[in-house]
Each structure stands twice: as C-alpha cells, then as structure tokens.
Chains A and B, each alone.
Chain A
C-alpha cells in the first residue's frame, strides 16, 4: 500500500489538510478580511493539487485568475461595502440547521464516491501539458470557448451597468 501512495500522496495529504482547515476557518471567522486571506490559502492549495494531478495549465490559470484577480475583486468588494474591520458575528440563526445540511451532504457524497471509486488510483505517469490543452481547446472545443468569451463580455457589460451610478 505504501508504494501505491508515493511521495505525491503524502504531499497531497498535507496540502489537503491545510485546505480543509482554511475552508473551515473561512466560514467560521469573525473577521471578514481574514476570511478573504483564508480563501487565498484554499485557492493556492487547489493550485498545488492541480499541479500534483498533472494539470499544469489549470494550476497556473488558477493562480492567475483566482489568487490574482478574484481575491483583489473580493477585497475591493469588502472595502467598498465598508466591511467592519474588527471582529463581528456573521452567523445567522439558521446556523445549526446549515451545519446539519452540510454534514448530511458531506456524508452522502463522500460515502457514494468512496464506494464507487474503490481501488481506482491516479498513477502520475501521463501528463497533459499546455500543448495538449491548447490543441484540444482550439479544435474540438472551439465553439464552447467562443460561447464562454461572449458570456464573459456580457458579464463585463452587465457588471459595469449594474455598478454605475444613475446620475452620471
């Protein structure tokens, strides 16, 4: 069993524990800016896991888009809505019910996937790098790619119009 786990398995276990801890802190912290920083840890951990599972292009896109752009956007959102900088209680009264729902969903999805993929492994011997992804993205997947770019443009225009003041 030990040789089946390998070095990648140990790295994944460490990164996964850090990611899980940061995610839990993100939804329990009383300080909004700390929450955004815990989100950075979770997203960077996901980038490391993408690198481990031999998806290098997805990993670097994750770092660029999420850690670079999304976090800056979220921090701007926090500042523009005058987020309280000190500790504040952010939980509502549905907290117990929400924890119950989350625990049930975790129990269901993890037990189903655990039994369904018993004995399946990731072998770390075939990498699909930037070349394979680009080749596939601009041949077979070119139509979804263009549709997604139109969607991004629509979201850009929509966000500008929503956030614009009416008087100018």
Chain B
C-alpha cells in the first residue's frame, strides 16, 4: 500500500481540525478539533514507523506519548472550560475576549 494514502488522510484530518479550531464557537468543539489534529499526527508517526520497519519502534512510542499528552491537555482544557462556564455562564469563545489583542 502506498504510504502517500495515509499521509493524504492525515493531512486532510489535520486541516479539518484547523478549520474546527478557527471557525467554531463552542469551546468543547474546539477541544474536540484539537484531538482530531493530534490524531492526524499519530497516524503519520505510525505510518512512518511501518514504512521504515524501524526495529526501535520510535514512531509507535512517540504516538503513545502524544496520546498521553493529549489526554492531559484535554483534562486541563475541560477544567478551564468548566471554570469559565461557572464564572460567565457561557462557553462561547467569542465572548471570552478579555485577553484578546
């Protein structure tokens, strides 16, 4: 199987995630789009590991690290979203613009 197919799918998922982060208003959907982007990166890492037949499985181990950090990021992110909701009764990113330049 050509490795390009996997890279193409990964690039597509990453762009869809970027669109979700930029265009959506709800903070939880933005977090979900970030998860899609991180998953696209994992697909690339595992695809390159399979392509190179790397006996040190660095690609797979980095994918595991990315999954761990994604879980940590989502936990902290949701805590912040819940905190914002408690203080302002909204999770719309457009209304949380105090620190916006």
B contact residues around A99 at 8 Å (CB) = 19, 23
Residues 131-168 (chain A) with a chain B CB within 8 angstroms = 132-133, 136-137, 140-141, 144, 148, 151-152, 154-156, 158-160, 162-163, 165
In the assembly, what is the distance between CA of A154 and CA of B72, in Å?
9
A contact residues around B94 at 8 Å (CB) = 92
In the assembly, what is the distance between CA of A57 and CA of B8, in Å?
23
A68 → B minimal CB distance (Å): 11
Interface size range of chain A in the complex: 35 or more
Which are the 9 A-B pairs with shortest beta-carbon distances? A98-B22, A155-B72, A27-B20, A106-B15, A98-B23, A102-B19, A162-B79, A159-B79, A9-B1
B contact residues around A70 at 8 Å (CB) = 35, 70-71, 74
Produce 1/0 per residue, A119-141, CB < 8 A to B. 11111101010001100110011
29 A-B pairs within 8 Å (CB atoms) are namely: A4-B2, A20-B12, A20-B13, A23-B13, A23-B36, A27-B24, A42-B13, A53-B46, A62-B67, A65-B67, A65-B68, A66-B35, A76-B78, A77-B82, A80-B82, A92-B25, A98-B22, A101-B19, A102-B18, A102-B19, A109-B11, A110-B7, A119-B2, A124-B50, A126-B53, A136-B58, A148-B68, A151-B72, A163-B82
B contact residues around A119 at 8 Å (CB) = 2
Query: Total interface residues on B, using CB and 8 Å?
Result: 73
**Residue B56 at the chain A interface, CB threshold 8 Å:** yes
A contact residues around B96 at 8 Å (CB) = none
- Is A6 in contact with B1, judged by CB distance below 8 angstroms? yes
In the assembly, what is the distance between CA of A152 and CA of B15, in Å?
28
Known: A155-B72, A162-B83. A12 touches B57 (CB 8 A): no
Interface centre among B12, B31, B56, B86 (most CB of A within 10 A): B12
